[in-house]
Structure 1
């Protein structure tokens, strides 16, 4: 199975008050988790929370909010090119 959303993409969490205390609203995809036979999952960071969550793909929809790119810029900064001889 293939992931529908890309790392760095903004998505909206679909509210689920009966199953979780997870708030709805925009969040950024931080990591695509490996498929383990039942659901595609992602590690996400909401702008309204200080911690990360693991969310099923069916609990999200594409967002119109734009990513601020701070996490992506930080990850590019840490990349060091290695020359092979």
Structure 2
């Protein structure tokens, strides 16, 4: 079986009524976990909280957000025009 989501990809965590303490929302895939049993799993980091979670692939869906946490934390470089003669 192959993983559907790549490391660094932004995904939406689907709300789960059976796991009430798990918030839904935007997450970043940190690690693709090895296949064990009948489900693929990932370690994800929610952008709304500091802890990481292990979730099943069916609890995730692709996100329209294109930037990860690392890109948001990095300040942009200043561009200085250079005149050539």
Do they superpose with TM above 0.5? yes
Task: Give unmatched runs, 5+ long, in structure 1.
Answer: 72-85
The TM-score normalised by the length of structure 1 is: 0.77
- Which has the larger Rg? 2
- 1:26 Cα deviation (Å)? 0.6
The TM-score normalised by the length of structure 2 is: 0.77
- 1:37 Cα deviation (Å)? 2.2
Query: Where in structure 1 do 4 or more consecutive aligned residues deviate above 4 Å?
Result: none
Residues matched between the structures, number: 71
Q: Is contact 2:32-2:43 (8 Å) kept?
A: yes
1:52 aligns with 2:34: no
